[in-house]
Structure 1
């Protein structure tokens, strides 16, 4: 595969982006990327596509903003928002591999600069794994950033002191009991990494991740965009209003402070894919596999990684939203292809959703479709919730307790959709045994066995 293949594919794909992406099927309602950008007042978009062969194609669209006509190029840096967590997780796992950290050790063994407390002042037992997986039950926090002349230290953020605009980080849920996404988990992780190594976080990530992965246009250093202002996309609020000063400063670097390009993010995704196949010199297969394995049964988040596993769409990576910016970075492992896209607008997610849907259609793996007669039968989700699947005139009829039977709709990739609900259905083989019925709703997967 060469970059010419990517260029030809993506010129066509970006010329016919779907505005209606919920079904996964290409609808007649399409628009070219520049038209979508205009509709949603998104000044600039950057996109990169890469393959495990080493080939990468990248392009910029629109302008960097801030009242300038400077075009976005493949080297224009954007705030990577919560993709920062994904990158920081890779670095943390390299420290686990080196024996500096242990995934299931209490973070009290590492912290020297600050102590995590609950609301009663007690110190709960929280592990590195729980921080990475957002299961430590810490304060629900989204970081909006600061003007460059009034930035708290990370310890002030954790304590909620000084110029900090967020509440103190506290343990508020039973650690390990459930998933709750919050930037506070990664602020604590950042302090753990700093205390455990004695290195500034931005330098540590440069050593562990950015340099080894050849992410030359990326940095966690909050001075980075000031050092190359001609190569920075300036952020915009909803409606197109520019961010005063161009961007915010994020002392919560592990949670939201990375500056990067889609090309650099694609390089990281492909390295994680290589590691998961046992072909990386940076991270071993077991840790890479854990990175992309749900840490809560039926969940969709691993160790610093969002996991997509719906019908016909197997991918992993991360999305992001900061004040002024939106982005995503994913790899489709079965095709060996990664795509990242970044915008300098809070309105950018509508554009990004259409780009990601195009990537799903192009790179998602197909699931083998089981013969209809093989999947009909009586399934049990739990003792009080049986499900019946029947075949009538070549169609699957789905019956759930207390509901009218419905005809399932065939979906791309071999799965099925409920016609009226947010419900995806797959039939999975089970080691020569009858098929297992898999139901996926709002990112949660449940299974029912055939009786």
Structure 2
């Protein structure tokens, strides 16, 4: 692996991470990565940065854990958690490209060894696209893994039988009506891929994704960590408590079963970025663009991909959380940069968010925010809930139903964020003038009409 020339800059940036990341702006409260790991009792972190031109820099921090703990290196494998879905989606789309599958075909055309039912035993019409996009409305399930000697088969997971600790996978929402993130979608997808091809899932992904993308230190085979125990980061619960056995077995391979390194993960995101530009030999432009396109209007998930596509902060990829591990892998396409980071702790997310915020500041597209127009006035959410907006020197002040006025933070894409709440505001024009105020909290959007 070659040192890219930006290694010094990265080492310097990881020496000044922001503890206060919610604003997106660098605060005076900065800390070096090892100190941040110590604060959250995260034993190990691995990070890799790659560019479309082939430059790569990677480093490990801390230790793998366990009684024979060794330093984390760029070659240390971690559980890739839900990034497994991102990889499985890429492989699925390669089968779509080859005509083996069709995105909008009913999954009943492919499933032979198991059938999806609703609670009354009926078979709903669900498509491959809906499985990939988490819009099929399947059971809300998080898969926690098993000790290796007590792991069920995938069919047992789907049926909720044998040693399985989760409920059967069922259709519980109207297919295609809304987004519901759940690993159950990818369990069904995994069985579908096996039925449609006749190839074990881990072998299929090796052929479709891991080998072509040169992800040599990655595998869906659950024997992988046992075959290289000194080159695997052992998982930890919160507070640094070691996970018994070091890691868990995940029969739900497509949902959460990948083992990988940050260097391997960023290779995939860079390949997808090339495909979106029409420069990939593995996936065509239209299918790659679908990966980056929200499948529900206004949503934040494409086909196996988390989407952050707003001016000033465009990134695409996936995050992950398994028992004992956390991780992310993203590409910032306007800068040609991909960054992946992995930890062996359930408490690793605060550390990862600080790293990701630093990357956003460095590589996200800079866009100048236009000053708001004439948005001043009263907006009414309900008869008993007025919202008053004032604009002074280009700053928007928000005051709602007896609350203290606050100055909103303007985003480049036209949104305004409340400084202390999970609340974003957008002004909706009509005939050239703001006619309504859209409020979005926890993914729920409400509209206040201008009085």
The alignment partner of 2:91 has SS state of: helix
Cα distance change, pair 411–245 in 1 and its aligned pair in 2 (3 A): same
8 Å contact from structure 2 (residues 136, 175) kept in 1: yes
Once the two structures are TM-superposed, the CA of residue 272 in structure 1 deviates from its matched residue by 1.0
8 Å contact from structure 1 (residues 300, 444) kept in 2: no
1:125-182 C-alpha deviation (Å, 9 max, x unpaired): 1111111111111111111111111221111111111121111111111111111111
TM-score (norm 1): 0.90
Cα distance change, pair 75–169 in 1 and its aligned pair in 2 (3 A): same
Residues matched between the structures, number: 448
Once the two structures are TM-superposed, the CA of residue 439 in structure 1 deviates from its matched residue by 6.1
8 Å contact from structure 2 (residues 235, 246) kept in 1: yes
263-272 or 64-73, which deviates more? 64-73
The corresponding residue for 1:223 is: 223
The alignment partner of 1:315 has SS state of: strand
Cα distance change, pair 286–446 in 1 and its aligned pair in 2 (3 A): farther
Cα distance change, pair 360–227 in 1 and its aligned pair in 2 (3 A): same
The corresponding residue for 1:14 is: 14
1:183-209 C-alpha deviation (Å, 9 max, x unpaired): 110000000000011100001101111
Cα distance change, pair 294–435 in 1 and its aligned pair in 2 (3 A): farther
The CA distance in 1 between the partners of 2:137 and 2:415, in whole Å, is: 34
The corresponding residue for 2:169 is: 169
The corresponding residue for 2:302 is: 302
Cα distance change, pair 425–310 in 1 and its aligned pair in 2 (3 A): farther
The CA distance in 1 between the partners of 2:321 and 2:231, in whole Å, is: 20
The CA distance in 1 between the partners of 2:312 and 2:446, in whole Å, is: 17
The answer for unaligned runs of 5 or more in structure 1 is: none
Cα distance change, pair 417–343 in 1 and its aligned pair in 2 (3 A): same
The corresponding residue for 1:60 is: 60
The CA distance in 2 between the partners of 1:138 and 1:380, in whole Å, is: 38
The corresponding residue for 1:333 is: 333
Once the two structures are TM-superposed, the CA of residue 408 in structure 1 deviates from its matched residue by 2.6
1:67-94 C-alpha deviation (Å, 9 max, x unpaired): 2231111010000000000110011111
The corresponding residue for 1:362 is: 362
The corresponding residue for 1:214 is: 214
8 Å contact from structure 1 (residues 298, 445) kept in 2: no
Once the two structures are TM-superposed, the CA of residue 424 in structure 1 deviates from its matched residue by 3.7
The corresponding residue for 1:96 is: 96
Cα distance change, pair 410–299 in 1 and its aligned pair in 2 (3 A): closer
Once the two structures are TM-superposed, the CA of residue 395 in structure 1 deviates from its matched residue by 2.7
Once the two structures are TM-superposed, the CA of residue 244 in structure 1 deviates from its matched residue by 1.8
Matches within 5 A, 1:405-420: 406-410=406-410, 416-420=416-420
The corresponding residue for 1:283 is: 283
The answer for unaligned runs of 5 or more in structure 2 is: none
The alignment partner of 1:299 has SS state of: coil
TM-score (norm 2): 0.90
Cα distance change, pair 248–440 in 1 and its aligned pair in 2 (3 A): same
Q: Does 1:344 align with 2:344?
A: yes
The CA distance in 2 between the partners of 1:298 and 1:410, in whole Å, is: 19
230-239 or 251-260, which deviates more? 230-239
Once the two structures are TM-superposed, the CA of residue 448 in structure 1 deviates from its matched residue by 9.9
Once the two structures are TM-superposed, the CA of residue 338 in structure 1 deviates from its matched residue by 0.9
8 Å contact from structure 1 (residues 417, 425) kept in 2: yes
8 Å contact from structure 2 (residues 326, 346) kept in 1: yes
The Cα RMSD (Å) is 3.0
The CA distance in 2 between the partners of 1:414 and 1:295, in whole Å, is: 22
The CA distance in 2 between the partners of 1:311 and 1:399, in whole Å, is: 26
The CA distance in 2 between the partners of 1:14 and 1:369, in whole Å, is: 28
185-194 or 312-321, which deviates more? 312-321
Q: Does 1:154 align with 2:139?
A: no
The CA distance in 2 between the partners of 1:275 and 1:379, in whole Å, is: 47
